[in-house]
Structure 1
Amino acid sequence: MPHDKLNRRCVELFQHPDVQLHCWHPRMFWETRMKENPAPEELTEPKVDLRELEVLLAESAHVPSVCAEELNQEDPGRADLIRHMVHRGEMPYLHRPH
């Protein structure tokens, strides 16, 4: 999936009501220039690997991930670990973007 399309998906997942229950601030995942309430269209510069973020957000939103299989093929068990940590209520460490 192209970078911009994957970022858009992550931004949409981030706005999902089940994800919002976690009270995560966008600055955890995107460069916000210290803006307190950035608009969704301003979230264009990820601080973390978008595939890992997509797995985290999809699992939190209770929807299928589009990146989990690819991530597990590249780094065996990585997506599974992220999902497991979400279920335990823990925040996994997400790698920096490549």
Structure 2
Amino acid sequence: MSSTLDQRLIELFQHPRIQGCNWQPRLFWHPAADGSAFGPLRVDGRELEVFLATIIGEPSTEQAALDQEQEGRGRFIAANARRHELPLFTRR
């Protein structure tokens, strides 16, 4: 995963709408070696980007690629987000 996507995921996660869900970072990230909350991802970063962006109401930068590579996976995750359902993400 690129550092650009890493940074985008952290920014999306820190958005007030996401923070209002009361999810802890450890749901999506392993703790970093230095003890910070945002270490290596537990889940596919592209799927998480689609999910978080949809909740916030921003266009996803990853949905089109997921849809093409995995036959609609991006649309499926976005639909889960719109229904306020936490999808089963692909583990890393």
Q: Same fold (TM over 0.5)?
A: yes
Q: Which amino acid aligns with 1:72?
A: D
Match of 1:81 in 2: 76
Rounded to whole Å, the distance in 1 between the matches of 2:3 and 2:70 is 22
TM-score by length of 2: 0.89
Aligned identity (percent) is 39
Give the number of equivalent residue pairs. 90
**What is the CA-CA distance between 1:44 and the residue it aligns to?**
3.0
Rounded to whole Å, the distance in 1 between the matches of 2:51 and 2:4 is 17
Match of 2:29 in 1: 30
Gaps in structure 1 of 5+ consecutive residues: none
Gaps in structure 2 of 5+ consecutive residues: none
Match of 1:95 in 2: 90
Rounded to whole Å, the distance in 1 between the matches of 2:23 and 2:49 is 14
> Do 1:85 and 1:91's aligned partners in 2 also have CA atoms closer than 8 Å?
yes
TM-score by length of 1: 0.84
Match of 2:59 in 1: 64
> Do 1:7 and 1:44's aligned partners in 2 also have CA atoms closer than 8 Å?
no
Alpha-carbon deviations, 1:32-55, whole Å to 9, x = none? Answer: 26xxxx75xx51310100000000
Q: Which amino acid aligns with 1:86?
A: A
Rounded to whole Å, the distance in 1 between the matches of 2:42 and 2:2 is 13
Rounded to whole Å, the distance in 1 between the matches of 2:55 and 2:84 is 10
Rounded to whole Å, the distance in 1 between the matches of 2:69 and 2:23 is 27
User: Structure 1: which 4+ aligned runs deviate by more than 4 Å?
Assistant: none
Rounded to whole Å, the distance in 2 between the matches of 1:44 and 1:32 is 5
Relative contact order higher in (CA < 8 Å, ≥ 6 apart): 1
